[in-house]
């Protein structure tokens, strides 16, 4: 059986493929410049030949801001919208592939991706749009489970389109009045949900949870040693940060970026650890507790951690990038009991709340600290004699100058769903994960990576193909099991049927990490996943 397995592991594509009709081909799209009405009409669209049109360059310009180009611009953009709408509908169709996989060298050769000196025609631009989506991963597909961020919300998508159309910067009220106000309103609401009195405090939307976590570390250092802003790390003693054993790698990355150093991050936290650090003459300044670890979905005991932080006057941060959204659920928010005692919280709505990427918030309990820590008084942006309330010029408290508008997607989805809508969505995902866990925990060929019901939607398991279930040599069994998940994952991608992540962890060989955040997923999709893993791994 070892020989058979080794051969199968080397030949990813040898398992029998399902009948091709199961994978529906994308609907035929109308050629650029035709209206698709199937009857004679006077559509502007029908009269436009995009192969002769250009947006800019040495050729005549036919799109805005060119003169008399309104009609052609609208026709071109309608063509783009038609491409997007067709892709959206296809993405939710279970008969279509999650991915049309090609190896990088193949994909490079299949299309002309090179940049040219001369402008391409608008027809070429539309072809590029179609090609890009043809080979894109359908992250909205109900059977896409590969990342923590999955799904596609229609209101969130509409908000993203509006944001790009407005094309402004978040640094001042004068250039982004509505978006700045919506950020103020939404951050206040999120702080209320955390449990801070009257939603007081501060916060900002950043380019992802890693940056939000780094902001928290930056603020903790400034709070304890404000002189570091001007004099640098040479002015402060050796600092030490604590974090969870399975915390996100961004905690160490933030320490490296801020000059604190990865060796100053200790992946453990209790009274003894703090006392040891103090006896060494170091200064513990920051603790990052995790609410929903990336792999296991585990929640740290926030109340116990906050007691230690209070005793030793250490900044307590909660990395809730993955698990923070459970605060929206009355059924599950108890898993974050004690979060209201934190100094700062990272919360990523682009994960469990399915807000389109990117949407990450850092919430801070102390008002004004971000401004004092980061402001540089750039007088060309933040003039002090403006005719409105300067507190709405939020750019000087950010590390960035240019800051993307991430707020409108979340705000508009919240308006559309209400808090109860988000709650129902989150509860459903956790219900699906419990269904998967209950279905495989005692099923032949499956072993759970850790005992007990998962705290989040992370379900971690090994699939043991028939060929290795009864191996007596434990080391040989472990060696072969390590290769199973990568092969099954590769086959998933080649057939395009589904996508699930895998990884090793510590001394544990590769296992599947199933996470459910896709609102489109159903119990039937979970059943399909189990059957597909078994089909693809049968000959291993």
Residue by residue, pLDDT tens for the chain (540 residues) are 443 444 444 344 444 444 443 444 444 444 444 454 444 455 556 568 888 888 876 567 789 998 889 999 999 999 999 999 999 999 999 999 999 999 999 999 998 899 999 999 999 999 999 999 999 999 999 999 999 999 999 999 999 999 999 999 999 999 999 999 999 999 999 999 999 999 999 999 999 999 999 999 999 999 999 999 999 999 999 999 999 889 999 999 999 999 999 999 999 888 888 888 999 999 999 999 999 999 999 999 999 999 999 999 999 999 999 999 999 999 999 999 999 999 999 999 999 999 999 999 999 999 999 999 999 999 999 999 999 999 999 999 999 999 999 999 999 999 999 999 999 999 999 999 999 999 999 999 999 999 999 999 999 999 999 999 999 999 999 999 999 999 999 999 999 999 999 999 999 999 999 999 999 999 999 999 999 999 999 999
Can you give 172-233 as a three-state secondary structure string?
CCCCCHHHHHHHHHHHHHHHHHHCCHHHCCEEEEECCHHHHHHHHHHHHHHHHCCCHHHHCH
pTM: 0.91
Residue 411 pLDDT:
98
What does the alpha-carbon distance between residue 465 and residue 169 come to, in Å, rounded to a whole number? 53
What does the alpha-carbon distance between residue 265 and residue 284 come to, in Å, rounded to a whole number? 10
Dmax over Cα atoms in the chain, in whole Å? 86
529-532: Cβ within 8 A, 24+ apart? 529/143, 529/145, 529/436, 529/498, 529/500, 530/436, 530/439, 530/440, 530/443, 532/492, 532/497, 532/498
Q: What structural domains does the chain harbor?
A: 43-133 (no CATH), 169-405 (3.40.640.10), 417-537 (3.90.1150.170)
What does the alpha-carbon distance between residue 415 and residue 189 come to, in Å, rounded to a whole number? 12
Residue 501 pairs in a beta bridge with 513
Residue 8 pLDDT:
42
Residue 52 pLDDT:
81
Residue 49 pLDDT:
85
C-alpha 182 chain-centroid distance: 22
Q: How many CB atoms lie within 10 A of CB 109?
A: 11
Residue 3 pLDDT:
38
Q: 404-418: b or e for each residue (b if 16 or more CB lie within 10 Å)? A: ebbbbbbbbbbeebe
Residue 35 pLDDT:
53
């Amino acid at each position: 059986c070892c020989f058979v397995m080794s051969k199968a592991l080397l030949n990813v594509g040898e398992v029998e493929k399902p009948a091709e009709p199961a994978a529906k081909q994308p609907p035929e799209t109308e050629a650029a410049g035709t209206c698709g009405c199937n009857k004679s009409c006077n559509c502007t669209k029908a009269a436009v030949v995009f192969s002769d049109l250009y947006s800019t360059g040495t050729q005549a310009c036919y799109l805005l801001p060119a003169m008399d180009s309104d009609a052609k611009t609208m026709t071109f953009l309608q063509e783009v919208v038609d491409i997007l709408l067709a892709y959206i509908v296809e993405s939710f169709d279970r008969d279509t592939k999650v991915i049309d996989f090609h190896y990088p060298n193949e994909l490079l050769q299949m299309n002309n991706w090179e940049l040219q000196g001369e402008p391409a025609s608008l027809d070429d631009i539309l072809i590029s749009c179609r090609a890009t989506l043809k080979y894109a991963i359908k992250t909205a597909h109900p059977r896409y489970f590969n990342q923590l961020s999955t799904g596609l919300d229609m209101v969130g998508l509409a908000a993203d389109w509006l944001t790009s159309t407005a094309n402004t910067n978040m640094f001042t009220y004068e250039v982004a009045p509505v978006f700045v106000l919506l950020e103020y309103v939404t951050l206040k609401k999120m702080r209320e949900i955390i449990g801070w009195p009257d939603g007081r405090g501060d916060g900002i939307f950043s380019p992802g949870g890693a940056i939000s976590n780094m902001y928290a570390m930056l603020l903790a250092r400034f709070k304890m040693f404000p002189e570091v802003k001007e004099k640098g790390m040479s002015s402060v003693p050796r600092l030490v940060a604590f974090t969870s054993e399975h915390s996100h790698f961004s905690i160490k990355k933030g320490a490296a970026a801020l000059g604190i150093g990865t060796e100053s991050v200790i992946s453990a936290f209790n009274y003894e650890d703090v006392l040891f650090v103090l006896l060494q003459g170091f200064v513990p300044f920051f603790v990052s507790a995790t609410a929903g670890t990336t792999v296991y979905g585990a929640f740290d005991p926030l109340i116990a951690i906050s007691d230690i932080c209070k005793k030793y006057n250490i900044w307590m941060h909660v990395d809730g990038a993955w698990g923070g959204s459970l605060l929206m659920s009355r059924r599950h928010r108890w898993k974050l009991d004690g979060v209201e005692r934190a100094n700062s919280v990272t919360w990523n709505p682009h994960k469990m709340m399915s807000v389109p990427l990117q949407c990450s918030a850092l919430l801070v309990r102390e008002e004004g600290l971000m401004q004092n820590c980061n402001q540089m008084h750039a007088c060309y942006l933040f003039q002090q004699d403006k005719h409105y309330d300067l507190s709405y010029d939020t750019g000087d408290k950010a590390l960035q100058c240019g800051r993307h508008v991430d707020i409108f997607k979340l705000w508009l989805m919240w308006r559309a769903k209400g808090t109860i809508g988000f709650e129902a969505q989150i509860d459903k995902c956790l219900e699906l994960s419990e269904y998967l866990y209950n279905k495989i925990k005692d099923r032949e060929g499956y072993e759970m990576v850790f005992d007990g019901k998962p705290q989040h939607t992370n379900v971690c398991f090994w699939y043991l193909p028939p060929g290795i279930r009864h191996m007596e040599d434990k080391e040989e069994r472990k060696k072969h099991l390590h290769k199973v998940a990568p092969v099954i994952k590769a086959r998933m991608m080649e057939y395009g049927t589904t996508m699930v992540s895998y990884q090793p962890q510590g001394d544990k060989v590769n296992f599947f990490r199933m996470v459910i955040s896709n609102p489109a997923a159903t119990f039937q999709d979970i059943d399909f996943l189990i059957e597909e893993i078994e089909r693809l791994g049968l000959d291993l």
